[in-house]
Amino acid sequence: MSAFILRRLIQAVIVMVSVAFISFLLFQYVGDPVVFLLGQEATPEQIRQLRADLGLDQPFFVQFWHFLVNAAQGEFGLSLRQGAKVSRLLAERFPATFELALVAALLALVVGIPMGVYAALRRGSFLSQVFMTVSLLGVSLPTFLIGILLILVFSVWLGWLPSFGRGETVDFGWWSSGLFTVDGWLHMILPAITLAIFQLTLIMRLVRAEMLEVLRTDYIKFARARGLTDRAIYFGHALKNTLVPVMTITGLQLGGLIAFAIITETVFQWPGMGLLFIQAVTFADVPVMAAYLCLIALIFVVINLIVDLLYAAVDPRLHLTNPGGH
């Protein structure tokens, strides 16, 4: 176990350094942030002075090394657009993104798993065909279009739900939450549904496929021969083994929900990290963009480690000594 965790930590360091390097390499060509700060009418002297003050006149690898040292200490420098610490900006926006991703993930699990089980057990029924058709729409339609359609129906036509913002929040130290107010939940519904639809359809189709495969195995036939009830077979044996790969996909998708909530947050003007990242791209705010990508990489690495550990706990046939991982 110790060797496995150590190996994963080494891989995590390599991944995060690689992501930081690639993000810095790419964002050198996004644009000159000095132009955004000073405007087009700035004199050459002012431009040179500001570049020197921000350390942008130094070689690329020197800037990159300073960024890595500061990031290891939890500091990502100053935002070139807002002049505030990047770590503070991310800390302010992280609760909104995390809660949106968490609600979307729970919604996808609570709805997607039962739909997948039903579609597998009653695959010839009318409702099962409806589920499969809806899943194709959920996979095919882009997220921004789903969000716009939900706003059009529930906000513009019906007027039931708000179309933008996070609503009323409650502060718990540095953490602000909208899950403890009615207004916060009303603002949460449409973005959470928009973000969850793709994951929901993915989980439903995965559960259906895995369930059908498990039901054809020999041990399920043996369980039927022993006279076990359908309920015991379906939910006591088949579903448990079906959820092993689902757990892996769900864990990684949670990181994906946090990383790819950018479109949803932009459509609904949700004040999360995704909206902050879009604004940083617009103004070529390199420290914010690089810090965001490194944070997302860290989230994926941590979730992947947790999923690997849970994998071995759920299925004892899997051994952590496997050097290939999962």
pLDDT tens digits, one per residue of 179-227: 999 999 999 999 999 999 988 888 888 888 888 888 777 777 777 777 7
Radius of gyration of the chain (CA): 24
- Lowest mean pLDDT, pick from 4-8, 106-110, 195-199, 271-275: 4-8
Residue 183 has a pLDDT of 92
How large is the average pLDDT for residues 124-142? 85
Neighbours of 14 (CB within 10 A): 11
- Lowest mean pLDDT, pick from 1-10, 58-67, 98-107, 138-147: 1-10
Residue 75 has a pLDDT of 79
- Lowest mean pLDDT, pick from 103-107, 157-161, 303-307: 303-307
- DSSP assigned state of 235: I
How large is the average pLDDT for residues 257-278? 87
Residue 156 has a pLDDT of 92
How large is the average pLDDT for residues 165-182? 88
Q: Is the pLDDT of residue 233 over 80?
A: no
Residue 30 has a pLDDT of 64
Q: Is the pLDDT of residue 66 over 70?
A: yes
Could you give the count of Cα atoms lying within 13 Å of 89 in the half-sphere of its Cβ?
26
Task: Tell me the pLDDT band of 154, cut-offs 50, 70 and 90.
Answer: very high
Q: Is the pLDDT of residue 149 over 80?
A: yes
Residue 29 has a pLDDT of 66
Write down the pTM of the prediction: 0.80
Residue type, 144: F
Percent of the chain with pLDDT over 90: 14
- Integer CA distances (angstroms), 166 to 178, 188, 268, 272, in order: 7, 7, 9, 9
| Of residues 245, 206, 240, the one with CA closest to residue 120 | 206
Residue 123 has a pLDDT of 82
Q: Is the pLDDT of residue 151 over 90?
A: yes
Alpha-carbon gap, residue 40 to 57, rounded angstroms: 19
How large is the average pLDDT for residues 123-145? 85
Between CA 143 and CA 147, with CA 144 as vertex, the angle to 5 degrees is 90
What does the pLDDT look like over 70-113, one tens digit per residue? 777 777 777 877 777 888 898 889 999 999 999 998 998 899 88
